[in-house]
Amino acid sequence: MNPTTPTPADDASQLAAFEARIAAGESIEPKDWMPERYRKQLTRMMSQHAHSEIVGMLPEGNWITRAPSLRRKLSLLAKVQDEAGHGLYIYCGTETLGVDRTELVDQLLDGRAKYSSIFNYPTLTWADIGVIGWLVDGAAIVNQTVLAKASYGPYARAMIRICKEENFHKRQGYEICTVLANGTPAQREMLQDAVNRFWWPSLMMFGPSDTNSPNSAELLKWRVKRKTNDELRQRFVNLTVPQAVALRITLPDPDLRLNSATGDWEFGEIDWSEFHAVVRGEGPCNRERLEARRTAHEDGAWVRAAATAYAAKQQGNGATVAA
């Protein structure tokens, strides 16, 4: 037998040792042994996350040229640039799992890979930029704060850094909402309309309900996820309702009420048919988003070629020096 082929007994003992490390709260690092399934699940989850950061630049990038003041333009530009950084940072994380980034980008561009459903909704008014910062980045923080304790070291560390920037995004979004909430009746109406459109899609960002989430059990078992989709969604609602009250904005859910026994804000039924349609590619902007990414990729071909040529030249120089 090939000495590098693990026997089933080896696998079982390696798996037991791996699970003991997870149970002890240890961090798994790239060179550590890990079950192939753990590697696969992480690659799927991290690449979806990276794609979401990159596609997430599009709805807001749409407003950079139309931001209402230089200050707003600067902060929006910085935010969109941060999202690019988040994407690149997480792609680097997936590469520690032995995946080639080119392969992941190809999966996004040919429609095989998924990204967060929220970015398939259009940004129709300036208020959408405030509401995205408040709700969408707010939801991302709830999700990512828990991922900062994920068992895979490179992913957890990426989340710690990213969450700091997401907090800034949320604050700038909420500040935009505050200004509109205290503005003219037309501005308040514009804010309310944006909240009406983004509230439910924001709740969908946490993914399917626990009873219908095929990957959750495994991810929880290996502590990639530390809380279920429904637990995170409830936490987001509990955090967000008081903020809506402070803005004197109505959340579009007649069933929203505080359960004084549990302290939870209970909410109405999510339209899962809408969620699944958007995930299938039938959302309002799926086609537009992928087209924009494909065009950007094609337009950037010369940059990749130049970077490759430069790296080859540098290597050539290095060889000469070494010789």
Binding site for Fe ion (CB under 5 A): 53, 83, 86, 137, 166, 169
- In terms of DSSP H, where are the helices of 24-152? 36-55, 57-61, 70-95, 101-109, 126-131, 137-147
Nearer to Fe ion among residue 119 and residue 267 (C-beta): 119
Q: What is the dihedral of CA 43, 45, 46, 48, to 10 degrees?
A: 110
Nearer to Fe ion among residue 28 and residue 54 (C-beta): 54
| Least distance (Å) between residue 82 CB and Fe ion | 6
Nearer to Fe ion among residue 76 and residue 278 (C-beta): 76
CA 202 to chain centre: 12
Q: How many CA atoms lie within 13 A of 108 on its CB side?
A: 28
Nearer to Fe ion among residue 166 and residue 253 (C-beta): 166
Structure-token pair, residue 295:
């065009």
Structure-token pair, residue 266:
């209970």
| Least distance (Å) between residue 134 CB and Fe ion | 11
| Least distance (Å) between residue 254 CB and Fe ion | 30
Q: What is the dihedral of CA 291, 293, 295, 299, to 10 degrees?
A: 180
Nearer to Fe ion among residue 53 and residue 253 (C-beta): 53
| Least distance (Å) between residue 16 CB and Fe ion | 37
247 and 181 Cβ atoms separated by less than 8 Å? yes
| Least distance (Å) between residue 186 CB and Fe ion | 28
| Least distance (Å) between residue 49 CB and Fe ion | 9
CA 60 to chain centre: 15
Structure-token pair, residue 256:
């929203």
Nearer to Fe ion among residue 21 and residue 114 (C-beta): 114
